[in-house]
């Protein structure tokens, strides 16, 4: 829906306030410079991008449809039908809240741990 989003931004005079990035971009740079990461998703199987954002210590706001398995301590959940004003209020709160990462939980998603799990699965 990239083109539709770009057109919407242009039609509503906010295009110059949004940065549309390519899918091949180095995302960690964007996460590190962001104030808050938003994931207003209708459905996520895990929410890998949420884990990536937390790994850079970026506070996250996501919809309650994202499983809490992806929460490594930097996530706040909000229902999608709570509306934009409610989401904006939480964003403002996140900007003024100290959050900390659960490093042990984050380490469960590391490439090393993933390789160990795959190796163990094939060992049988």
Burial (CB count within 10 angstroms: exposed 0-12, middle 13-18, buried 19+), residue 36: middle
> For residue range 15-31, what is the model confidence (pLDDT) as tens digits?
999 888 887 778 888 88
3-state SS, residue 77: strand
Between CA 76 and CA 98 the distance in angstroms is: 12
> For residue range 47-82, what is the model confidence (pLDDT) as tens digits?
888 999 999 999 999 999 998 888 999 999 999 999
Report the pLDDT value the prediction gives residue 43, as an integer from 0 to 100.
87
Answer whether 33's CB lies under 8 Å from 57's CB.
no
| Apex 47 CA angle, 103 and 92, nearest 5 | 75
Of the listed ranges 56-60, 80-84, 92-96, 111-115, the one predicted with least confidence: 111-115
* Segments making up each domain of the chain, as ranges: 1-25, 34-123
């Amino acid at each position: 829906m990239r083109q539709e989003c770009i057109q919407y931004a242009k039609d509503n005079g906010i295009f110059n306030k949004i940065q549309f990035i390519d899918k091949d971009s180095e995302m960690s740079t964007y996460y590190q410079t962001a104030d808050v990461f938003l994931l207003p998703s209708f459905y996520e199987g895990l929410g890998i991008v949420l884990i990536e954002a937390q790994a850079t210590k970026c506070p996250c706001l996501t919809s309650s449809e994202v499983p809490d398995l992806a929460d490594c301590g930097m996530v706040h959940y909000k229902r999608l039908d709570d509306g934009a004003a409610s989401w904006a209020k939480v964003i403002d709160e996140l900007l003024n809240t100290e959050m900390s990462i659960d490093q042990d939980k984050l380490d469960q998603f590391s490439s090393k741990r993933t390789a160990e799990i795959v190796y163990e699965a094939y060992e049988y």
